Amino acid sequence: MRVLAVTANKGGVGKSTLAFQVAAELARRGLRVLAVDADKQADLTRYARGPRLAGMGLDAVLADPPASLDPRPYIGSVSDNLDLLGSSPRLADADLVLQSAQGGPFLIQRCLAVVAGAYDWAVIDTGHSEPVIAAVLVAADQLLMPTTASSPDARHAGDMLQTAVRVREELGLETGDLLQRSLITIWRRQHNGVADAEVIENLQDRFGDLVCPVVIPHSSRISEANDQRLTVREHAEMFGTARDRPLRAAVDAYEAVTDHLLARAGVAAGDLSGLRLLEEIDLDEPDLARVASAIRRVKSRRGLDDDELAEVLGRSLDWVRHTLAFGARHPEGEDRLTIRPRSRVAVRELTGSRPPRWRP
């Protein structure tokens, strides 16, 4: 399991939003993802529709180590391939535990090791507590560091790199691979601002390849998606229009950031090695909703059409289409049988021909 830490030394730079969007995009590619909220503000938990209650997330896991380090009782499902280990304001109590317990900086790493076999990625939204930051940096294989295209925020874009080097060297851990895989993402404050462009150029000159070439555009619809507890992609599919170019650009940007993240991690965007997607499909499974969910993962991850999917599975095209139709996801978040409207001809056969129109 790869561990991605989304972290920043400044608040208000879109850290929790980025963690949620990237986790959802990874899951959309068929990867099994655990989103971990390591911030006492619990914004990621709210975006992912999780309970922001004490004793229901990471705060409970870190309450009494080592006995409490099993996170499985507190992990809940968000969507296909995406689970959540949430948080609450009581996570602040973990600071003392991480500082005083034996092996405190390694507690989050030990917690994730319990479920390492069940997930391909863990995406951690890191708060601003120093003990939590240190524990996350010990567990991380890769850093994702967001900043806005603003001079005060951009000055701190590389702070977490320095912190990671210091923390890991103090504990005798290597830092080279972590730094090479890390990525800085930039979020525009305005649609088309000269000041933003200058900040972006300065960041690229300063950090070079560490800066993601894709800039996340400004859009108020991103905040709307967070308020509605939807990913930006879900929000665009449900409420977007063809004219809403900033929203569509935001969807494309988060998708491209995820592609760059995978490339930086050494995983090709279309590589299926190690994902075991086909092995996850039990065609004899009596629950058709589970079969449909597994098939949708394969279709999305490989970018297959229905004909190609039928060939991969060794089934007929009609079987594939009927199975995909079963359990299609609706905006309410429930899995229901997709009901297709009858054609007009079929309706007329059932109801009879139309009566002649009345004319005065």
Largest interatomic CA distance in the chain: 93
In this prediction, residue 111 carries a pLDDT of 96
Q: Where are the domains of the chain?
A: 2-265, 276-360
If you average pLDDT over every residue of the chain, what do you get?
82
pLDDT digit string (tens) for 16-65? 999 999 999 999 999 999 999 999 999 999 999 888 888 889 999 999 89
Count CA within 13 A, CB hemisphere, residue 102.
2
Quick one: which of 72, 71, 139, 84 has its CA closest to 111? 71
Q: H or E segment at 144?
A: strand 142-148
Predicted TM-score (pTM) of the model is 0.74
Q: Residue 250 pLDDT > 70, yes or no? A: yes
Contact 295, 320 (CB under 8 A): yes
> Looking at per-residue confidence, does 279 or 71 come out higher?
71
Q: Residue 323 pLDDT > 60, yes or no? A: yes
The token pair at 359 is 């004319």
Gap between the terminal Cα atoms of the chain:
75
Q: Residue 359 pLDDT > 70, yes or no? A: no
pLDDT digit string (tens) for 255-307? 999 999 998 887 544 443 333 445 556 666 666 777 777 777 777 656 677 77
In this prediction, residue 32 carries a pLDDT of 95
Q: Phi and psi of 279, rounded to 5°?
A: -70, -20
> Looking at per-residue confidence, does 245 or 89 come out higher?
89
Q: Residue 156 pLDDT > 50, yes or no? A: yes
> Looking at per-residue confidence, does 121 or 195 come out higher?
121
In this prediction, residue 264 carries a pLDDT of 86
Class of domain 2-265: alpha beta
Percent of the chain at pLDDT > 70 equals: 81
Quick one: which of 210, 55, 182, 58 has its CA closest to 131? 58
Q: Residue 118 pLDDT > 80, yes or no? A: yes
Average pLDDT over residues 130-141: 95
The angle formed by the CA atoms of residues 180, 183 and 189, to the nearest 5 degrees, is 160
In this prediction, residue 109 carries a pLDDT of 95
Alpha-carbon span 267 to 4, nearest angstrom:
14
In this prediction, residue 344 carries a pLDDT of 47
Q: Residue 348 pLDDT > 60, yes or no? A: no
Whether omega before 213 lies within 30 degrees of 0, making that bond cis, reads no
In this prediction, residue 154 carries a pLDDT of 86
Q: Which residue has the tokens 């994730």?
A: 112
Q: Residue 71 pLDDT > 90, yes or no? A: yes
Alpha-carbon span 245 to 230, nearest angstrom:
18
